[in-house]
Amino acid sequence: MMIEFGLSKGSFNTKFAPLAVLAARFAHQQTLKPLEQVEVAMKTVDFSAIDKLSQVLISMLADCEYIAEVNTKLRTETVLAAGWGFDHFADQSNLSQTLDELNLTNLSQLEQAVRRMWRQSSRVLEHDWRGFLQLDLDLSGLPCGSQAEGSQKGYFSGKKTAWVANWPE
């Protein structure tokens, strides 16, 4: 599959271009192949149960907090759907029905499939655990700008850090 990115004035653009790139990478590395091990007993009309499970994952990657958001965010994205190998995305009701049909065996199979996908692409498994894993946390309590995404005032016990203490001279 050849995916080309660029600026155009056509009506065939997508606002989810990074997800199209991810689709190409997933296809090349066969990242979603473990989902084929999940055996959901459902009839197939437009999409198989595995296609619908893949589309649930895509909806999560597209920042759909709820399945209902699929209709407003992804349903019209035919270019993105083509990047993932679909003509279009399934309706949210079809995705919900598929999730409702999962039994305990299916959930166990899904858990194993997700674990295999995680192991295939995780960098944590490559870390040399004989050394330290460094995490950079800012616990200084310095104020952030009001326009910072998700910013909110937090609670810090004890004495506040002086403003100039964290700024290089």
Asked if 79 contacts 20 with a C-beta cutoff of 8 angstroms, the reply is yes
CA max distance for the chain: 68
Render pLDDT for 35-52 as a digit per residue (tens, 0 to 9): 888 888 877 788 988 899
Higher pLDDT, residue 12 or 127: 127
Amino acid 90: pLDDT: 92
Residue type, 129: W
Residues in the chain: 169
For residue 139, name the pLDDT band (cuts at 50, 70, 90): low
Instruction: Choose between 155 and 23: higher pLDDT.
Output: 23
Which one has a higher pLDDT value, 17 or 136?
A: 17
Tokens of 66: 């709820």
Retrieve residue 128's tokens: 């040399």
d(CA 28, CA 161): 49
CA atoms of 102 and 104, how far apart (whole Å): 7
Confidence of residue 164 (pLDDT cuts 50, 70, 90): low
How far apart are the C-alpha atoms of 110 and 35, rounded to whole Å?
7
Give tens-digit pLDDT for 80-106: 898 899 999 999 999 999 998 889 999
Q: How far apart are CA 144 and CA 140, in angstroms?
A: 11
